[in-house]
Amino acid sequence: MDKIKIALAGNPNVGKSTLFNRLTGMRQHVGNWPGKTVEKKEGTFQYNHHEIEVVDLPGNYSLTAYSVEEVVSRDYIVGEKPDVIVNIIDAANLERNLYLTVQMMELGANLVLALNMNKFAREKGLKINKNELSELLGVPVIEIEAVDKTGSDELLKTIVKVSKSPNVVLDRLEYGNEVSEHMEQIEKIIDQDIPQLDAPSSWIALKLMEDDPEIIKKIEETGKGQRVLKEVKKIQRHFNDVFGDDADAAITDARYGFIAGLVSESVKKPKIDKVTRSDLIDRIVTHKYLGIPIFLLIMWFTFQITFTVGDPLGGYIEEGFAWLGETLAASMGEGFLTSFIVDGIIGGVGGVLVFVPLIFILFLILSILEDSGYLARAAFVMDRFMHKLVGLHGKSFIPMILGFGCAVPGIMATRTLENEKDRLLTMLIVPFMSCSARLPVYALIVAAFFSAYQGWVIFSLYLLGIVVAIIVAAIFKKTIFKGMSAPFVMELPPYRIPTVKGAIIHMWERGVLFLKKAGTIILALSVVIWALSSLPVGVEYGSQESVTGQIGTVLSPIFEPLGFGEWQATVAIIYGFLAKEVVVSTFGTLYGIGGDGGGGEASADEAPAETEEETAPEEDPGFIAVMQELFTPLSAYAYMVFVLLYIPCLATLAAIRRETNSWKWPTFAAVYTFVVAYVVSFVIYQGGLILGF
Amino acid sequence: MMSLAMATENDNLRIVQVWHGGKFKKKLSEMGIYKDSRIKVIKNDIPGPLIVDVKGSRLIIGRGQAQKIMVEGYQNG
């Protein structure tokens, strides 16, 4: 069986992922491009005794050196030399899409054009003569529908054929006299001075004229580029003098000129633009006054569905782990190993896995919203607020919304922000959005102290999180992330009905990252915490004599000014770093509250604490009594505020580490959130005392 | 000649000048907004970003960015 290596390329929102998923099914691998935070998707499939290896190149508009995605794509085309590149094109948007096509032709890529979304193009009244287009470009043009089987077989057949006899298309491009002439001049010098480059010299010439920093660097590195670079400078000056515009702009013009020629020959457009269904929906969804209520309603439904469906499923997982812990404890008897497995591993990892259903469902709904095109509208609608309040643009709002579910996907979603500063800033404020893991902590404390105003107290915490995020963002924007906000331009894709397969694959890809984390970092940390709670040998698990207890005792004076100087409260905060909801189970463990409802020491000896906590301590009158001894209503509120704001959980820090590829930012996030939490809690507690609460 | 931010909905416009620098100018041109290209304003609610039609696709442009794009009207046809 022979192997064919293909790559999928195209603008964002053209159905590239849909085609990739259709071709490879679940036989795909998602990783990162080496050394980059750009996602790399690979997969294989078989067709007619050919094994076809597919790489999904990141979606982009161009092949310049200005974004990581573009560099990754073009390095792949130049370096890996795939046999065939399938360029997926939104037929309804042919002209703009061909801009990328032209640039791949410049690179000498062996192309097949796959025209997607032809139905939509017809709806718009466009008639594309694909034979004419193919003739003009010198590459095969196939009509497909990525969502179903239309054109699939023809596409595959063409891929195999083209892999055997590559198209030569370099000579098809026309840039007009002025550009071509200068290009040839540079080309000639390149061929004489540095003939051994691995990309076509005409492409190098174009890139040099465009001032492409990467290519200039490469030419400089050969040590033989002085003559070329000098000539390029001269030509650039000439363009500036003669046209009053740089060579870069002239080349862009030339490309669009070439494309306009192609389109006028091969496409019939309607005289009057038809109003599409997408436009009609947008009149309501992006409406000046209706836009925001609609957005809020959709978000409300998202959380409703997530919690209604996800919570019971999480409950089953919780029960499952509790049962597993009990069974193991019963069969293994009491001892060091049992405690290690039950308290350490099952308690730690299980506590985090409880959130898997919530996270998967949230991802599924968000994938559907994203695939349908709604999230782009949300960015549009929220832009004016974000701009005024924080100085970030609307796109930053999407990660923040995700943060209400879980900060980890929120941080991953910052990938859609092009500006590095905006991206970092968004990552740093996402953890202030009160995530689902913090809810059980509130529930516990609110039941003990604020039963009359439950809803309002919890609502105030959510609000506080948002307010703190806005204030912090505004401060950072003026200090460490000083400078202009990224200019805002993004495509508004037409609405589409998301495919089930696409949405599920989307959900899976993101969810699996979370599972992996639970299996590695969280597992490791669980073991550490367990060890600290069990040592020195012989102490009761998690008691004041254990290392944890001692640490808690030593550190607790720090929290005295905030109103919760008890060592137990400190220990719960330390454990909450693993996952915020662990604060709840820690209180359960430390106070030995169990199913017998009596409290006291006895129950702690009977079975490991993790199995007891399912009796919902917040409903346990004994537990409430203990809590009321420990906290006053004021200090309890200060404690909740602290839990809301302090150091993001381990999974979140790991996500920040992964996304920024450095330890600097997660460390910074941990330190500054601690300071913010401390200050805000301090103000609330001391202020409350002065006011006489 | 006026800035894009001042255009009214359904205006057919030609880009006269893009007062943006290097990187963003390049990005705009890749998305179809460059000197002499033609666009149509779909939405312009003040405040807030604009939606324009560029070669059949819809782009969101921040208001601040639109202020630096100079346009003039032309008759469709």
Residues A149-205 pLDDT 10s: 889 999 999 999 999 988 878 888 888 888 888 999 999 999 999 888 888 889 999
Distance (Å, whole) CA A23 – CA B66: 40
pLDDT(A227) > 80: yes
Contact B60 A380 (CB under 8 A): yes
Question: Which chain B residue is nearest to residue A284, measuring alpha carbons?
Answer: B43
Contacts of B21 in chain A (CB under 8 A): none
Q: Which helix (H) or strand (E) holds A297?
A: helix A291-332
On whether the CB atoms of residues A664 and A481 are closer than 8 A, the answer is: no
pLDDT(A487) > 80: no
Contact B60 A489 (CB under 8 A): yes
Collect all residues from B whose CB is shorter than 8 A from any CB in A. 20, 23-37, 40, 42-43, 45, 47-49, 51, 53-65
Q: Which segment of A117-126, A396-405, B27-36 scores lowest on mean pLDDT?
A: A396-405
A678 contacts chain B (CB < 8 A): no
Mean pLDDT of A210-218: 89
Per-residue pLDDT tens digits for A124-133: 888 999 999 9
Contact B24 A487 (CB under 8 A): yes
On whether the CB atoms of residues A434 and A384 are closer than 8 A, the answer is: no
Contact A252 B34 (CB under 8 A): yes
More confident residue, A434 or A526: A434
On whether the CB atoms of residues A236 and A208 are closer than 8 A, the answer is: no
A214 contacts chain B (CB < 8 A): no
How many other CB atoms sit within 10 Å of the CB of residue A238?
Answer: 13
Mean pLDDT of A606-612: 40
On whether the CB atoms of residues A603 and A594 are closer than 8 A, the answer is: yes
**Type of residue found at A464:** L
Owning domain of residue B7: 2-73
Contacts of B43 in chain A (CB under 8 A): 282, 286
- Interface probe for A, chosen from B18, B28, B30, B41 (most Cβ of A below 10 Å), is B30
> What's the domain count of chain B?
1
- Interface probe for B, chosen from A122, A489, A495 (most Cβ of B below 10 Å), is A489
CATH (domain of B25)? 2.30.30.90
Q: Which segment of A466-470, A507-511, A604-608 scores lowest on mean pLDDT?
A: A604-608
More confident residue, A655 or A522: A655
Q: Give the distance from residue B36's alpha carbon to the nearest chain A alpha carbon, in angstroms.
A: 9
On whether the CB atoms of residues A608 and A343 are closer than 8 A, the answer is: yes
Query: How many contacts does A have with B, using Cβ atoms within 8 A?
Result: 112
More confident residue, A512 or A180: A180
Task: Tell me the C-alpha to C-alpha distance, in Å, between residue A588 and each of A267, A631, A642.
Answer: 70, 15, 19
On whether the CB atoms of residues A178 and A250 are closer than 8 A, the answer is: yes
Contact B26 A286 (CB under 8 A): no
Find residue A7's DSSP bridge partners.
A55, A85
C-alpha triplet A332, A335, A340: angle, nearest 5°: 90
Q: Mention every residue, 6+ apart, whose C-beta is less than 8 A from residue A515.
A: A356
A36 contacts chain B (CB < 8 A): no
A265 contacts chain B (CB < 8 A): no
pLDDT(A391) > 80: no
DSSP code for A614: G
How many other CB atoms sit within 10 Å of the CB of residue A513?
Answer: 18
More confident residue, A671 or A250: A671
Per-residue pLDDT tens digits for A353-379: 776 787 788 778 888 888 888 988 988
| pLDDT at residue A462, rounded to an integer | 85
pLDDT(A404) > 70: yes
> What 3-state DSSP class applies to A489?
strand
Encoded tokens for A112: 């097949």
| pLDDT at residue A493, rounded to an integer | 86
- Interface probe for B, chosen from A67, A126, A488, A495 (most Cβ of B below 10 Å), is A488
pLDDT confidence tier of residue A612, bands split at 50, 70 and 90: very low
Question: Which A-chain residues 124-153 have CB contacts (< 8 A) with chain B?
Answer: 124, 126
Alpha helix (H) ranges present in A107-199?
118-123, 130-137, 152-164, 177-193
- Interface probe for A, chosen from B45, B60, B67, B75 (most Cβ of A below 10 Å), is B60
> What 3-state DSSP class applies to A72?
helix
pLDDT confidence tier of residue A620, bands split at 50, 70 and 90: low
pLDDT(A115) > 60: yes
Encoded tokens for A275: 């109003």
Domains recognised in chain A with CATH numbers: 2-170 (3.40.50.300), 177-268 (1.10.287.1770), 295-436+450-483 (no CATH), 517-691 (no CATH)
Distance (Å, whole) CA A197 – CA A186: 14
Distance (Å, whole) CA A318 – CA A315: 5
What is the torsion angle, in degrees rounded to the nearest 10, for the CA atoms of residue A194, residue A195, residue A199 and residue A205?
60
A383 contacts chain B (CB < 8 A): yes
| pLDDT at residue A606, rounded to an integer | 39
* Model confidence pTM above 0.80: no
Per-residue pLDDT tens digits for A520-569: 766 777 777 778 877 777 777 767 788 888 888 888 888 888 888 888 88
